[in-house]
Amino acid sequence: MITQLTLHWPSNCMKKYTIMENMRYMLHYHNSNDPVYFGFRFKPYAKQGYMSGGAGYVLSKEALRRFVKEALPNPLKCKEDNTGAEDAEMGKCLEAVGVEAGDSRDNEGR
């Protein structure tokens, strides 16, 4: 199951403590072919906000495909230099290729 999660929902959570059962449960209700990513959302810099790199975020297969194939090769969609905060720049790149910043909170807003 972890392999499937890794293949269908790539994540930057390698250095974070993640409860995989909770992540699997939350992602179970979403289609990895939809362009979406989840994490702890901050509001500035992108119209839809962006996910905190410190807390970690997870991308659907389609979100990763769009990032690699459409955003990275296009300097109008993603900056080519290494300036700016990684998470905010990632949010801008993903927004530019139509990837939705999803809401990962539960029904109690946690």
Domain membership flag for residue 108: no
CB atoms within 10 A of CB 104: 20
Instruction: Tell me if residue 71 falls in helix, strand or coil.
Output: helix
Q: pLDDT in tens for each of the 110 residues of the chain? A: 333 445 555 555 555 667 788 888 889 889 999 999 998 888 877 778 778 877 788 899 999 999 999 999 999 999 888 888 888 899 999 999 999 998 887 778 77
Residue 107 falls inside a structural domain: no
Q: Is the whole model's pTM more than 0.75, yes or no?
A: yes
The answer as to whether 110 is a domain residue is: no
Contact 87, 51 (CB under 8 A): yes
Residue 36: inside a domain, yes or no? yes
Q: Which residues pair with 58 in a beta bridge?
A: 11, 38
Which positions ≥6 away from 57 have C-beta within 8 Å? Answer: 11, 12, 13, 37, 38, 39, 40, 51, 87, 90
> How many domains, the chain?
1
Residue range(s) defining the domain that contains residue 18: 2-101
